[in-house]
Structure 1
Amino acid sequence: MGLISEVLLLPFAPVRGSAWAVRQVLQEAERIYYDPATVRAELAKLEELLEAGEISEEEFDRREDELLDRLEIASRGGAGTGGGTSR
């Protein structure tokens, strides 16, 4: 039955290939998004913005919390395995 199903599903091969490509792009985007080095760099930039007076303390706290959440997820190993897309 495997050969028959492959022949019948052949017209859908481009769609299946596109879905695979989209999954690969999403995995790479998650890997970069949750990369601890990237998050630390964003935290440093955020602190520079606060010190320069370009953002308020409230904005700093909100964005810092988001970045720390990302760092926590990365440290738990949930990044890059689809853990970030289940929200």
Structure 2
Amino acid sequence: MISEVLLLPFAPVRGGAWAIRQVIQEAERIYYDPATVRAELARLEEQLEAGEITEEEFDRLEDELLDRLEVASRASAGTGNGTAP
């Protein structure tokens, strides 16, 4: 109880840190969401077909997206909730 009283002035800092952690977790969830990655892959293919990006750019970006999809799959298999580590 005494520690709670002594630490009370730091409550806004702890609350702010908690809020930041929540924002980061949500951003990671969206970033590694398989549906999001698949949609980005589809957009990437459309850009290639429209000539908006080169084959080299496509390959590089596709590899990055596939890596994200792999991370999401491993995290989903490891935790069962589909979120990244």
On whether the aligned pair clears a TM of 0.5, the verdict is yes
Structure with greater contact order relative to length (CA < 8 Å, sep ≥ 6)? 1
Q: Identity over aligned residues, as a percent?
A: 81
Segments of 5+ residues of structure 1 without an aligned counterpart are none
1:6 partnered with 2:4:
yes
Spell out structure 1 runs of 4+ moving beyond 6 A: none
Paired position in structure 2 for 1:38: 36
Whole-Å Cα distance in 2 between the matches of residues 7 and 66 of structure 1? 49
1:31 Cα shift?
0.4
Paired position in structure 2 for 1:47: 45
| Number of matched pairs | 80
* Structure that is richer in helix per residue: 2
TM-score, scaled relative to structure 1: 0.87
SS of aligned partner of 1:77: helix
Paired position in structure 2 for 1:73: 71
